[in-house]
Amino acid sequence: MRHTLVRRIQRILNVISFAALIGIFAIVARIFGYAPEWPAALTPRSEPAPRVALISGHAGFDSGAICNAEDGTVTLTEAETVARITDLAAQRMRRTGAEVLLLDEYDPRLDGLQADILLSLHADSCIPASGYKAAYYERSRIPSTGDRILGCIDRHYAATTGLAHDPDTVTVDMTAYHAFRKIDPSTPAAILELGFLGGDQELLTQRPEVAARGVAASLLCFLEDDPIGESPEPEEGQ
């Protein structure tokens, strides 16, 4: 009987001293301005995944440029060539954690589209010329952002593919591109002609992974606001 009484008193004293310890800790913590941190799992994500929209040129609409053999048979279409590169670029961007929206040429989701970047991928004609080119909306409300996209392409797509910049054949089809007029005006956007189906056929059809890598590096440069344009990632044994 006495034994249980002693134990009970001990237990009460334990509880009181534990509570006192917590109280003392709280007072000391407040004096030293200690703010408890969230455990990692509860910390709100500081940045949401970047939203990247890619138009696979001519998809769902037509073939784009068509290359013919001498006997007239079709050897290559722009839509097929670009679709492969767009898919590979999308896979790459998803691996970096981006949320990627793959769009057809006249995709209804373009209307009012809000994204961190929209890039439309096309390829140039079958003539034996070489080079890439890019443009943004001639009436863009955010021209400095368009310049930044083009700067990233000039650094990263050019370096990764080895293609030269060919600014001389930028057409009104590029600067007044239909998608630019449909998306939300705050969405950064550009159109990229990946190269010529004629002169750059080997790159575009035999090494689409290289072109895709150049596209992804350009997108990442823009999304990461890369001010100095770091050199693109090294070749992956191709």
Q: Binders of Zn ion: how many residues, by CB under 5 A?
A: 3
Calpha distance 99→51 (Å, rounded): 5
As measured in angstroms, the least distance from the Cβ of 91 to Zn ion is: 22
Question: Could you give the 3-state DSSP secondary structure of residue 115?
Answer: coil
Query: 90: which residues sit within 8 A by CB, 6+ positions away?
Result: 52, 54, 100, 102
As measured in angstroms, the least distance from the Cβ of 57 to Zn ion is: 4
Region label for 225, one of left (φ > 0), alpha (ψ between -120 and 50) or beta (otherwise): left
Which of residues 57 and 198 has its CB atom nearest to Zn ion in the complex?
57
As measured in angstroms, the least distance from the Cβ of 173 to Zn ion is: 8
CA 95 to chain centre: 10
User: Both tokens of residue 14?
Assistant: 């334990």
As measured in angstroms, the least distance from the Cβ of 162 to Zn ion is: 22
106 to 165, contacts with Zn ion by CB under 5 A?
122
Which of residues 59 and 219 has its CB atom nearest to Zn ion in the complex?
59
Residue nearest to Zn ion (CB): 122
As measured in angstroms, the least distance from the Cβ of 106 to Zn ion is: 13
Which of residues 64 and 199 has its CB atom nearest to Zn ion in the complex?
64
Residue type at position 147: D
SS3 letters across 137-172: CCCCCCHHHHHHHHHHHHHHHHHHHCCCECHHHCCH
As measured in angstroms, the least distance from the Cβ of 123 to Zn ion is: 7
Strand partners, 135: 191
Which of residues 122 and 155 has its CB atom nearest to Zn ion in the complex?
122
Calpha distance 135→146 (Å, rounded): 8
38 to 97, contacts with Zn ion by CB under 5 A?
57, 64
Which of residues 122 and 156 has its CB atom nearest to Zn ion in the complex?
122
Which of residues 31 and 172 has its CB atom nearest to Zn ion in the complex?
172
Calpha distance 219→80 (Å, rounded): 22
**Residues binding Zn ion (CB under 5 A):** 57, 64, 122
